[in-house]
């Protein structure tokens, strides 16, 4: 089992929800150790007797990167920020994985400063689970790399494909590129170049382009896009879901039949981000899970379990092997080089 560093000051409900999530994790997941990083006094105050129980330790960090701060400048001004201290634990090997519900840009920047990238990886990407009609797919990238190039999307296919195999249990994940049309040749130069390279790489099951509505259809298991596009989709989807549920409940006026209540409960379960904890940041030599800023204790608990699963199933080692095979493919290399 893993030793997981958790940014105890990250998130709208920190430190209370983070501490409670860590307590639940060590109680329910045998062998898990959690290192809570942040203001020691504030963290200890959340324990019933003011002391960390067995399985939990506290590492003090005197500063917090606030949501309104620039990630890079904020971390430079605050070398003792909780996310920076937690990332140092991961970099030094004093933690096997890291969980944060804090500033997403800060987590990405802290990883960039503290960690090396996986051999062969150009840029890191955030792989966010999305609910579909048949389960979940992974959309990558949703914000780590706002202006991707074709080699980045091809590498995301390998990285997210290995994560999906190892953690989601999909033996041969169907991989697609997000575009404005499903036909071959549609889309921007970025999309067309990435799709051409993926067709030439036999180690991934590439199914071509998908359009925006197909994200939720279950047509693909991994969908590739640059971070700017992915982040807009992520936030628009959250807003649409909240508006839809609000409108539906308002129209029902509180009068819901047992069958209707079952439908609403199923919808909540399918779209509940707390169930899978968060989104992995793939591409660094360290296992990192980024949680939603509003994460309650259940999401923190599930995130700790998810990063432990990534470590146990050697996701990064699998990614190294996959990127090695990609780099050795001369046809793919020629296609990508012709677009630079």
pLDDT bucket at 30, cuts 50 / 70 / 90: very high
| 132 vs 77: CA distance, rounded Å | 41
Residues 137 and 65 in one domain: no
Q: 96: Cβ–Cβ under 8 A, 6 or more apart, which residues?
A: 2, 3, 4, 90, 287, 307, 311
Q: What is the residue range of 249's domain? A: 123-273+314-340
Residue 337, domain member (yes or no): yes
Residue 282, domain member (yes or no): no
| 193 vs 191: CA distance, rounded Å | 6
Residues 241 and 321 in one domain: yes
Residues 86 and 168 in one domain: no
Taking the model in full, what pTM does it have? 0.91
Give the whole-number percent of the chain exceeding pLDDT 90.
78
Residues 326 and 187 in one domain: yes
Instruction: Give the total number of structural domains in the chain.
Output: 2
- Whose tokens are 């991934």? That residue is 204
- Does pLDDT of 14 surpass 80? yes
Reported as a single tens digit per residue, the pLDDT across 171-183 is 999 999 999 988 8
Residues 74 and 161 in one domain: no
Q: Which of 21-25, 50-54, 266-270, 273-277 has the lowest mean pLDDT?
A: 266-270
Q: Where are the beta strands (DSSP E) in 132-274?
A: 136-140, 174-178, 205-210, 222-224
pLDDT bucket at 82, cuts 50 / 70 / 90: very high
State the sign of the Cα–Cα–Cα–Cα dihedral 75, 76, 82, 87.
positive
Contact 173, 156 (CB under 8 A): no
Residues 74 and 127 in one domain: no
- Does pLDDT of 97 surpass 70? yes
- The mean of the pLDDT values for the chain is 90
pLDDT bucket at 277, cuts 50 / 70 / 90: confident
| 165 vs 318: CA distance, rounded Å | 10
Q: What is the CATH number of the domain that holds 167?
A: 3.40.718.10
Q: Which of 92-101, 127-136, 160-169, 194-203 has the lowest mean pLDDT?
A: 127-136
pLDDT bucket at 275, cuts 50 / 70 / 90: low
Residues 320 and 224 in one domain: yes
Model pLDDT, residue 274: 62
Model pLDDT, residue 238: 77
Reported as a single tens digit per residue, the pLDDT across 215-238 is 989 999 999 999 999 999 988 887
Model pLDDT, residue 264: 47
Residue 293, domain member (yes or no): no
Residues 107 and 145 in one domain: no
| 234 vs 129: CA distance, rounded Å | 10
Which residue, of 87, 115, 143, is where some domain finishes?
115
| 89 vs 286: CA distance, rounded Å | 10
Residue 295, domain member (yes or no): no
Residues 26 and 143 in one domain: no
Average pLDDT over residues 267-293: 80
CB atoms closer than 10 angstroms to residue 285: 15
Residues 133 and 91 in one domain: no
Residue 305, domain member (yes or no): no
């Amino acid at each position: 089992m893993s030793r997981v560093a958790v940014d105890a000051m990250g998130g709208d409900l920190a430190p209370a929800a983070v501490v409670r999530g860590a307590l639940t994790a060590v109680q329910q997941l045998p062998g898990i150790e959690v290192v809570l990083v942040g203001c020691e006094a504030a963290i200890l105050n959340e324990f019933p007797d003011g002391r960390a129980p067995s399985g939990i330790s506290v590492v003090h960090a005197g500063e917090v990167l606030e949501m309104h701060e620039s990630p890079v400048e904020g971390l430079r001004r605050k070398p003792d920020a909780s996310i920076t201290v937690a990332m140092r634990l991961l970099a030094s090997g004093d933690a096997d994985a890291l969980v944060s519900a804090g500033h997403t840009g800060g987590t990405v920047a802290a990883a960039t400063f503290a960690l090396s990238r996986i051999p062969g990886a150009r840029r890191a990407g955030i792989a966010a689970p999305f609910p579909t009609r048949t389960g979940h797919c992974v959309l990558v990238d949703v914000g780590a790399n706002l202006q991707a190039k074709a080699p980045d999307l091809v590498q995301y296919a390998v990285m997210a494909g290995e994560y999906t195999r190892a953690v989601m249990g999909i033996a041969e994940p169907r991989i697609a590129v997000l575009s404005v049309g499903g036909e071959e040749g549609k889309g921007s130069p970025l999309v067309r170049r990435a799709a051409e390279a993926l067709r030439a790489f036999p180690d991934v099951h590439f199914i071509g382009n998908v359009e925006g509505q197909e994200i939720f259809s279950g047509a693909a298991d991994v969908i590739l896009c640059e971070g700017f596009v992915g982040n807009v989709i992520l936030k628009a989807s959250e807003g649409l879901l909240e508006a839809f549920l609000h409108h539906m409940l308002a129209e029902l006026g509180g009068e819901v039949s047992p069958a209707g209540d079952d439908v609403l409960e199923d919808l909540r379960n399918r779209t509940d981000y707390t169930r899978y904890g968060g989104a992995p940041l793939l591409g660094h030599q360290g296992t990192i899970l980024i949680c939603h800023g509003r994460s309650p204790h259940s999401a923190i608990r599930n995130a700790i379990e998810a990063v432990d699963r990534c470590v146990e199933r050697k996701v990064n080692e699998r990614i190294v092997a996959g990127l090695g095979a990609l780099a050795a493919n001369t046809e793919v290399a020629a296609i990508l080089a012709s677009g630079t």
